[in-house]
Amino acid sequence: MSARPQYYTRTAQILHWLMAAIFITAWLIGFYSGNFLSYGTDGAFKGDIITLHKNIATPILFLIVIRIFWRYTHPAPSLPESMSAPMKKIAHVIHWVLYIILVALPITGCFFSWSAGHPAPVLYLFNLPTLIAPNPHIMAIVKPIHVYLSWFAGLLIVGHVFAALKHHFIDRDNVLKSMTSQAKD
């Protein structure tokens, strides 16, 4: 059996950082719109901000397909020996949950929009095919899923970032470097 690599491939790294940037930007814009703007006082501006949120977030749906395929065909680096078995298990579970969030948030967002009678636009270029007709019953289900899942994702990502920084600055191991650097031949 060949040894596990020490670094993520360049492709995996680019996908991780590109999607992290999109995700964090979309999250901040969604949170701003959902909690600091109201249709009553901010009118069309809120509409524009939600549209921006959607246009930035939908590319995640395409990128995650490539990323899951890439992950399936390219194993992740092994975690440092210094980590206990339960900690390694927790790290793996959190990565799984992050992947599930990367699939579930944009999908629930699209169903939220369609059920409210709005499109799901991509980078101001085109709309995704509308899969359902406007439906307040579906909206009453997908809206809270999108909102609560986004809050949970926010908390998890704060933990994920702190874990990466702890590995780098306190444990001084290779975990953060595995996502930023390549082996020098």
The whole-angstrom separation of Cα 33 and Cα 39 is 10
Here the tokens at position 152 are: 């949970």
Examine residue 110 and tell whether it contacts ligand HEM (CB under 6 A). Answer: yes
- Alpha carbon distance, N-terminus to C-terminus of the chain: 21
Report the 10 Å Cβ neighbour count for 8: 23
Examine residue 88 and tell whether it contacts ligand HEM (CB under 6 A). Answer: no
The residue within the footprint of ligand HEM, chosen from 4, 14, 24, 100 (CB under 6 A), is 24
Helix (H, G, I), strand (E, B) or coil at 5: coil
Which x/- pattern, by CB under 6 A, does the window 117-136 give for ligand HEM?
---x----------------
The whole-angstrom separation of Cα 157 and Cα 91 is 12
The residue within the footprint of ligand HEM, chosen from 83, 103, 138, 179 (CB under 6 A), is 179
**CA neighbor of 24 nearest in space, from 121, 160, 145, 154:** 154
Report, in Å, the least distance between residue 89 CB and ligand HEM. 12
The residue within the footprint of ligand HEM, chosen from 112, 115, 139, 142 (CB under 6 A), is 112
The residue within the footprint of ligand HEM, chosen from 5, 18, 20, 80 (CB under 6 A), is 20
Using the CB atoms, write b or e for 129-138: b if 16+ within 10 Å: eeeeeeeeeb
Report, in Å, the least distance between residue 112 CB and ligand HEM. 5
Report the 10 Å Cβ neighbour count for 41: 8
Q: Which residues bind ligand HEM (CB under 6 A)?
A: 16, 20, 23-24, 26-27, 30-31, 33-35, 50, 53-54, 57-58, 60, 71, 76-77, 79, 91, 95, 98-99, 101-102, 105-106, 109-110, 112-113, 120, 146-147, 150, 157, 160-161, 164, 175-176, 178-179
